[in-house]
Amino acid sequence: MSVLARTEEILSLAKSRAPGDRERLLLAVVDLCGVAESAEIMTAPAVQDLLNSIFMSLVVEAERDIRRRLAETLAHVDWAPAALINVLALDDIEIARPIIAASPLLDDQDLVRLLIEATVEHQIEVARRPRLTPPVVAAILQQGEPAVLTALAGNVQTALAPDDMALLVKAARRVAALRSPLVRRPELTDDLALQLYVWVGQALRQSLTTRFRLDPEKLEAALGQAVSEAHSGQAGVDPTTDAIVWEQDAEREEMERRLISKLVAAGQLRPGYLLRALREGKLSLFVGALATLGNFPPEMVRCALDGEQPEHLALACAAVNIDRSAFPTILELVRELNGGQPGGGSEGARRALAAFGPFDPDLAAMAFRRTMAPKAG
C-alpha cells in the first residue's frame, strides 16, 4: 500500500467512532511512521495536528505491545509530537528505553525531569545517553544515585569536566562499582588517579600504575592516611547498619574471600547466591563467588564483565548451572553496578541467551575459558 493510500486510510479511521477502529487507527499510524518515504508527509502542518490528536488521545489507552512498537518506531525521528515523546519516556522502562536512549526531541529540561521524577531504571538510561550536556551531568551528580553515577562513569560518549571527575572519584570511596569505569576514563588525571588508587583492588591498582607515573612516596602517604581515617572511624562504618562501607579494598576483598570459603565449607555457595549478591549491590562478591563456583580465575570473570559481549558472562553462568530464565536479571543488575558493562545492548542480551542452549555446564566452562584466556592473560 502506498503512503498516500495509507494516509487516506488513517483519515478515514480518524472519523470513525467505533472502538475497534481506534486501535486500528493507532496501529495504522505506527506502521506509517516506519515507512521511510513518509517523513516528508509527517512534517506537514495538517498531518502534525492530526498526529497530535491521534497519539495523545489513544496512546494512553493502547496496549503495552502497541506502545512498545510506537516507542521503537519513533525513537530516532525528529517530527514526532514532543508531548508524546515525553509520555513514552515516562512509560514502563521497556517502552521508555529506546526513547530515552535516542530521541532527538528530548531536551535538557526533559532529561533533568526524568532524573527527578522517574525510576532509577529510567535515570540509568538517561546517564547512558550519548553526548550528555553539562546541565544533565550536573543533575546526575546532584542526585547521587550510585547505579546512575556508575552508568555515567561508563558512558564513554559523554565528556566529563574536571570537577565532574573529581566528584565521581570522591563518590568511588563509597561506591565500589564506580572504580573500574573511572580507571578507564580518559579524563582521569594524575592527582585523581592517586586518590582512586587508595580505594581500588590490586588489579585496578596495576592498571593505574601502568597508565600513570604515580610517586611511590605519595602512594605510601595516601595509603597511610586512608588507613588512619578508617581506623579512626572517619570513613569506615555506616551507623545505620553497622556495616563496613569502606576500608582498604584489599581488606574488603579478603573479607569476601573468607565469606566465600565459609559458604563453600558449609555447602551454601550455590548459583542462587550470585543473584543475591547482585541485589545487595556487591559486584566484587558476585565476581568472587562466580569464579569459585566455576573454578575460574577472578580476573577472567572480571574481563567478561568489562567487555562488550554479554555472551561471555552467559557462558560463565551456564557453566555453574544458573537457569536460563535468571540470566536477563543477572545481566541487568551487573550492567547497573558496572557502568553499563558488559555492552551489546538488547541485541547482545538476546544473543547471550543462546549460551544456555547447546552447552552442558562442562562444555560451557570449557568454552568460557578458551574464549577469555587471551583477554585475561
Three-class DSSP category at 35: coil
Shared domain for 233 and 256, answered yes or no, is no
Whether residue 183 is found in the same domain as residue 241? yes
Three-state secondary-structure class, residue 268: coil
* Same domain? 268 vs 360: yes
**Average pLDDT in the 290-298 region?**
94
- Quote the pLDDT of residue 296: 94
Q: Are residues 240 and 292 in the same domain?
A: no
Q: Is residue 102 part of a domain?
A: no
Same domain? For 145 and 241 the reply is: yes
Q: What is the pLDDT of residue 36?
A: 45
* Mean pLDDT over each residue of the chain, to the nearest integer: 80
The values of phi and psi at residue 243, to 5°, are -100, 150
Q: How far apart are CA 133 and CA 130, in angstroms?
A: 9
pLDDT value at 240 more than 50: no
Q: Which amino acid is residue 298, in one-letter code?
A: P
Are residues 276 and 224 part of one domain?
no
C-alpha atoms less than 13 angstroms from C-alpha of 121 in its C-beta half-sphere: 13
Give the pTM: 0.60
Is the model's pLDDT at 179 over the cut of 60?
A: yes
Within-domain flag for 130: no
pLDDT, position 372: 86
Residue 27: inside a domain: yes
SS3 237: strand
Point out the domain boundary residue: 245, 262, 281. Answer: 245
46 falls within a domain: yes
Residues counted in the chain:
377
Q: Which residue has the higher pLDDT, 282 or 241?
A: 282
- Structural domain count, the chain: 3
pLDDT score of 271 more than 80: yes
* Listed residues 245, 265, 292: the one ending a domain: 245
The whole-angstrom separation of Cα 138 and Cα 189 is: 20
Q: How far is CA 376 from the centre of its chain?
A: 23
C-alpha cell at 98: 529506546
Write down which residue in 192, 216, 245 finishes a domain.
245
Range of weakest confidence among 62-71, 91-100, 301-310: 62-71
Residue of higher predicted confidence among 140 and 46: 140
Asked if 214 and 301 sit in the same domain, the reply is no
Question: Is the pLDDT score of 214 beyond 90?
Answer: no
Do 235 and 330 lie in a common domain? no
Q: How confident is the model at residue 338 (pLDDT cuts 50, 70, 90)?
A: confident
ω into residue 19 within 30 of 0, thus cis?
Answer: no
How large is the average pLDDT for residues 9-31?
64
Q: Are residues 222 and 307 in the same domain?
A: no
Interval 36-57: pLDDT, tens = 445 555 555 655 666 666 665 5
**Residue 248, amino acid:** Q
C-alpha to C-alpha distance for 109 and 92, rounded to whole angstroms: 20
Same domain, 256 and 355: yes
The amino acid occupying position 82 is A
Could you tell me the residue range of the domain that residue 313 belongs to? 249-376
Flag the least confident range among 181-195, 219-233, 287-301, 357-371: 219-233
In a domain, 30, yes or no: yes
Same-domain pairing of 306 and 267: yes
Q: Is residue 284 part of a domain?
A: yes
Q: Is residue 262 part of a domain?
A: yes
Residues 46 and 31 in one domain: yes
**pLDDT cut 70: percent of the chain above it:** 72
Residues 6+ apart with CB under 8 A from 27: 66
107 in any annotated domain: no
| pLDDT tens sequence across 83-131 | 889 989 999 999 999 999 999 999 999 999 999 989 888 999 999 999 9
